[in-house]
Amino acid sequence: MTGHDIGKDKAKQLQLYKIIIFGAATTFLFIKGHYYPPSFYSQWQPISFYRLLDQPLPPGLLRFFEWGWFILSMATALSCLKAPQYFRALAKVASIFAVIYLGHDYNFGTIYHGTQLYLGVLLILAFAPMNKKEEQQQYFHDRWHIPLIKFFITFMLFGAGMQKLVKGGLSWVFSDALFIKLALLPSHTWAATQLLQAPLWVFEFLAFIILFGVQLSAPLALFHRTIGIGYFILWSCFHLGATYIFSVGSTFYSQIFCYSLFLPLYALTYKGRSKSQN
Amino acid sequence: MMSFKMIPLFFNSLDLKSKIFFVLIFIAYASQIIFQREDWPLTKLSLFSGGRFETFNLCKISIQYERGGKSIDPLLLGSDKFFIIGSLEAMMCTKDPTINEVSTFLHQNITPILVRNQVPLSGVIKVKRRYWKELVYGNFDSPEVDEIILSETPQGER
Q: Which residues of B touch A203 (CB under 8 A)?
A: 137
**Res. A75: pLDDT tops 60:** yes
* Min distance B101 CA to chain A CA atoms (Å): 15
Peptide bond into B74 cis (omega under 30): yes
Q: Select from A103, A105, A155 the Cβ nearest to the Cβ of B29.
A: A155
Mapping DSSP to helix (H, G, I), strand (E, B) and coil, where does residue A188 land?
A: coil
Greater pLDDT, B158 or A202: A202
* Min distance B67 CA to chain A CA atoms (Å): 17
Question: Quick check: A47 contacting B, CB < 8 Å?
Answer: yes
Query: What pLDDT sits at residue B49?
Result: 40
**Res. A141: pLDDT tops 80:** no
Q: Which residues of A touch B53 (CB under 8 A)?
A: 167
Query: What pLDDT sits at residue A164?
Result: 77
Mean pLDDT of A106-118: 66
**Res. A173: pLDDT tops 50:** yes
Q: Are residues A43 and B87, on separate chains, in Cβ contact within 8 Å?
A: yes
Q: What is the pLDDT of residues B101-115, one digit of tens each?
A: 888 887 788 777 777
Reported as a pLDDT band with limits 50, 70 and 90, residue B7 is: confident
How many A/B residue pairs have CB atoms within 8 Å? 188
Q: What is the pLDDT of residues A176-193, one digit of tens each?
A: 878 877 877 767 788 988
Which residue of A10, A131, A185, A234 to mutate against B (max B Cβ within 10 Å)? A131
Question: Quick check: B137 contacting A, CB < 8 Å?
Answer: yes
pLDDT, averaged across chain A: 83
Q: What DSSP element (H or E) covers B46?
A: none
ipTM of the complex: 0.76
User: Percent of chain A, pLDDT > 90?
Assistant: 40
**Res. B13: pLDDT tops 90:** no
Question: Quick check: B139 contacting A, CB < 8 Å?
Answer: no
Eight-state DSSP code of residue A20: I
Q: Which are the contacts of A137, defined by CB distance < 8 A and separation ≥ 6?
A: none
Q: What is the pLDDT of residues A9-57, one digit of tens each?
A: 888 899 999 999 999 999 999 998 765 555 566 666 666 666 677 777 8
**Res. A263: pLDDT tops 80:** yes
Highest mean pLDDT among A16-25, A241-250, B147-156: A16-25
Does this model's pTM top 0.80?
A: no
Q: Are residues B137 and A176, on separate chains, in Cβ contact within 8 Å?
A: yes
**Res. A226: pLDDT tops 90:** yes
Q: Are residues B25 and A223, on separate chains, in Cβ contact within 8 Å?
A: no
Mean pLDDT of A248-268: 88
Nearest residue of B to residue A172, measured between CA atoms: B51
Mapping DSSP to helix (H, G, I), strand (E, B) and coil, where does residue A169 land?
A: helix
Q: What is the pLDDT of residues B116-145, one digit of tens each?
A: 777 777 777 778 777 777 777 777 767 655
Q: Are residues A131 and B18, on separate chains, in Cβ contact within 8 Å?
A: yes
Query: Which chain A residues in 194-213 lie under 8 Å from chain B, judged by CB atoms?
Result: 196, 200, 203, 210
The CA distance from A70 to A75, in Å, is 9
Angle between helix A3-18 and A145-168 (nearest 10): 60
Query: What pLDDT sits at residue A271?
Result: 62
Query: What pLDDT sits at residue B40?
Result: 42
Which residue of B11, B27, B81, B137 to mutate against A (max A Cβ within 10 Å)? B137
Query: What pLDDT sits at residue A49?
Result: 64
Q: What is the 3-state secondary structure (H, E, C) of B107-133?
A: HHHHHHHHHHCCCCCCCEEEEEEEECC
Q: Are residues A183 and B135, on separate chains, in Cβ contact within 8 Å?
A: yes
Q: Which amino acid appears at position A248 of this protein?
A: V
Yes or no: say if B96 and B113 are a contact pair by the CB < 8 Å rule.
no
Query: What pLDDT sits at residue A45?
Result: 63
Mean pLDDT of A263-278: 68
Question: Quick check: B126 contacting A, CB < 8 Å?
Answer: no
pLDDT, averaged across chain B: 68
Nearest residue of A to residue B47, measured between CA atoms: A160
User: Percent of chain A, pLDDT > 70?
Assistant: 81
Mean pLDDT of A92-98: 95
Query: What pLDDT sits at residue A150?
Result: 94
The CA distance from A139 to B153, in Å, is 62
Q: Are residues B41 and A110, on separate chains, in Cβ contact within 8 Å?
A: yes
The CA distance from A113 to A3, in Å, is 38
Q: What is the pLDDT of residues B38-94, one digit of tens each?
A: 444 444 433 334 333 344 467 777 777 777 777 766 566 655 666 677 777 777 777
Instruction: Compute the half-sphere exposure of residue B45: CA atoms within 13 Å on the CB side of its CA.
Output: 30
